[in-house]
Amino acid sequence: MIRLGFLLLLTFNVLFYAEAQQQRITLKAGESLKDFKARHVYKYPEFASSKVTYTDGAVTTERLNYNRLSGKMEFIDKKGDTLAIINNSEIRKVVLAKDTFYFDKEYVELLNDAAGLKLGMTMMLKLVDKQKIGGYGAASSTSSIDTYSRIPNQPNFILNPKADHVFVLEPTFYFGTRDYSFGRASEKRLLQLIPREHQAKIKSYLKQNKVDFAEREDIEKILHLVKTLTTDQAHPEVNGKKTAN
């Protein structure tokens, strides 16, 4: 029995054209959405068998996909309609194919678990520009979005069919606790989560290195340091020999 709450999603009558440079994605006026949804809107090209764990411990198996435009988990019902889960607060974890998502106000994908310090990420399509189609098919950039009938990045927003729309895939990183409570990745959040005995070394590293908490590579280096400190504490060695604790 399907336990998922759901919301019927509307289909956009537009197609997206992907540009490789800087992960910019352009929605071309008058084109269809089908191919783009499979390649860019959804986490996977097809809905994948997924295990859903609820906060009360119950577990179900469904065919799901993650929508990067709305930030929702979706499934397809027996009628072939695309539905979005709405009882998200009852869900603890979703194992979607090879990826694991935790729900904490939003779905956060788990990237790394370094000695109890979790690294999570959301990857969303964000609108960055709209280009109206002018004379002879030329597109001109405009900051106005008054031709939208609904708010961008909401599940059912409608786009102007006579304009190109430029999106970018934007990652946001989070640090999580042992019980998978996530907060935006930052120096303050990091120091709140690591053991007090390691904070001096972490502060020293941050002072000597420019760390951008919006860059995964920088964050991974911090996680490696935290893991090293924790491992050294658990297995202290001197000249290759373990010492008494």
Per-residue pLDDT, 241 = 47
pLDDT band at 232 (very low <50, low <70, confident <90, very high): low
Secondary structure in 3-state letters for 90-150: HEEEEEECCEEEEECCCEEEEEEEECCEEEEEEEEEEEEEEEEECHHHCEEEECCCCCCCC
pLDDT band at 10 (very low <50, low <70, confident <90, very high): very low
pLDDT tens-digit readout, 68-124: 988 999 988 888 888 899 999 999 999 998 899 999 999 999 998 876 789 999 999
Per-residue pLDDT, 162 = 76
pLDDT tens-digit readout, 158-210: 566 677 878 888 899 999 988 889 999 999 999 999 889 999 999 999 999 99
Share of the chain above pLDDT 70, in %: 69
- Which amino acid, one-letter code, is at 30? G
User: Which tokens belong to 238?
Assistant: 């001197």
Using the predicted structure, report yes or no on whether residue 139 has a pLDDT greater than 50. no
Residues in the chain: 245
Q: What is the pTM of this model?
A: 0.74
DSSP class per residue in 39-64: IIIBSSSS-EEEEEEETTS-EEEEEE
pLDDT tens-digit readout, 26-74: 877 766 666 667 777 889 988 999 999 999 999 999 899 999 988 999 9
The pairing of strands 91-96 and 99-103 is: antiparallel
3-state secondary structure of 193: helix
